[in-house]
Every structure is written in structure tokens, then in C-alpha cells.
Amino acid sequence: MNRTPTDILLTPTVAPPAPATNYGSAPEINTQVWLNTDTRLRLADLRGKVALIEFWTYG
């Protein structure tokens, strides 16, 4: 079989990634103190939106 350079480039060389594991829904964040917001945030209010959540503590 004669392979062309295009055939070689289009041949996958790595296995596809494994499917992601579904761990279910994230638990609600229950805290009374929120920084940089006047209202309490709920994960349900962020559903369908892109959100970056950074957790940190004082050590």
C-alpha cells in the first residue's frame, strides 16, 4: 500500500482521551461571609454560566 504524506499526517498517533468521570452535582457552598459581593451566592444561580471559583484560607 502506498501512503502519501497526507495519509501520514491524518493518521492519529495517540489514543483518544478517556471519558470524564461524572461525580454528580457540586454541593452547595454554605457560608455566611462573602467577599466582593453584596448578596449571598448560590451555585444554582450560576448554572449554565462560566464561573471561576477560587478557594483560599488564611493559614
Query: Residue 34: its pLDDT value, please?
Result: 78
pLDDT at 11 over 70: no
Mean pLDDT of 15-31: 85
Question: Of residues 14 and 1, which shows the higher confidence score?
Answer: 14
User: In Å, how far are 7, 23, 30, 34, 52 from 20, measured between CA atoms?
Assistant: 30, 9, 27, 31, 19
Query: Residue 54: its pLDDT value, please?
Result: 80
User: Which of 11-15, 34-38, 48-52 is least confident?
Assistant: 11-15
Confidence at 4, pLDDT banded by 50, 70, 90: low
